[in-house]
Structure 1
């Protein structure tokens, strides 16, 4: 028994932590990696790895540096960050930017949603409670079963693109791609910053999540 308290036991069962065997298979870790949704940790001789799964995302990412102490375990394995939903069609990026330009001089927001059954993306513009050139309050949509919010996007109107302290607080408990567009009406093109929010961490994207783009920022 790992924990006597039933609530603590439920928490540990929901987010398990497994040592990596020095040889042979680990059915528990394999089941964690094969899950449709969930997350846990693998403790290897090299690092501790977060294993996070969503219907649209497969993420294996080290959360510690190389471990100095001797551990009689195997290696945690290579990192992985795969969009199981595929890249987002570029036309959704273009439609968002049109919406953000129309909202000038105020900030605006958009969500990109993925339907697990049809494997199609859709673009949703949320209800805005307050919008100014430097402030935006909007409502996250309630999605039907099988639909997943992939991207949470907002603009900074004519200001630079960056993640604010408010963004950090809003994104801390989420699993999603977060994007901010700035300098919306710049003739050379808008700025974009992006990150993957997962496990309480903000991870850089190696490339843009949109088809036809090559760079995350």
Structure 2
């Protein structure tokens, strides 16, 4: 078999992010295996673009990352986009619990994590260790996850400020696979605002719907 790279490190990097052409007809067992995998990611190349296929125990994501190829390629279609929570929607009670915690921390910012156990299929809330908390700044530590636990949501507040993702948030989220949520205006009489995005493959993607059951979509 022809090697894609003659350097061992480069070959390992390419193997970690495989790239597969979509056949013009019939099946692609390697693409199907990637889509069925518990954990994995790779690229599918078709005549209509390039698709990132990313799998985590809690997430199944297929997202186009490039426009249709202008030149002729004898490939099939990359198919439809997909962003499914394998873990299911997060029960609304966790949304309520976290909002109460964030409001209790006013006037300072605060944070919380939504975790999911792959074996028991149960959710849990964890509140992180805080190194610094003020009305405009928050420094907190990421959780150390026991076996079978996965972080689904990384949540923090902007206290009385508006909900948005800052440049610091962008840097923190750049290499993560998670749902990031910011709550703002926690003291507003009409209720708080929420900004949410899916961080995956070095991209920040809009969520097709709110990840909490029974909660309206983010602004």
Q: TM-score, normalised by structure 2?
A: 0.98
Partner of 1:40: 42
3-state SS of paired residue (2:72): coil
Partner of 1:133: 135
Residue 7 of structure 1 deviates from its aligned partner by: 1.0
CA distance in 2, matches of 1:2, 1:190: 51
Q: Is the 8 A contact 2:54 2:61 kept in 1?
A: yes
CA distance in 2, matches of 1:92, 1:12: 39
2:199 to 188, 193, 197: 197
CA distance in 1, matches of 2:42, 2:14: 9
Q: Deviations over 1:152-198 (max 9, x none)?
A: 00000000000000000000000000000000011111000000000
2:9 to 7, 10, 15: 7
2:118 to 116, 122, 127: 116
Partner of 1:168: 170
CA distance in 1, matches of 2:79, 2:152: 26
Which ranges in structure 1 are unaligned for 5 or more consecutive residues? none
Q: Deviations over 1:116-144 (max 9, x none)?
A: 01101000000000000000000001001
Partner of 1:94: 96
Which ranges in structure 2 are unaligned for 5 or more consecutive residues? none
User: What aligned pairs does 1:54-73 form with structure 2 within 5 A after superposition?
Assistant: 54-73=56-75
The CA RMSD measured in Å over matched residues stands at 0.7
CA distance in 1, matches of 2:15, 2:27: 20
More off after superposition, 25-34 vs 125-134: 25-34
Q: Is the 8 A contact 1:50 1:60 kept in 2?
A: yes
Q: TM-score, normalised by structure 1?
A: 0.98
CA distance in 2, matches of 1:176, 1:167: 13
3-state SS of paired residue (2:142): coil
Q: Following superposition, which runs of at least 4 residues in structure 1 exceed 6 angstroms of deviation? A: none
CA distance in 2, matches of 1:214, 1:65: 31
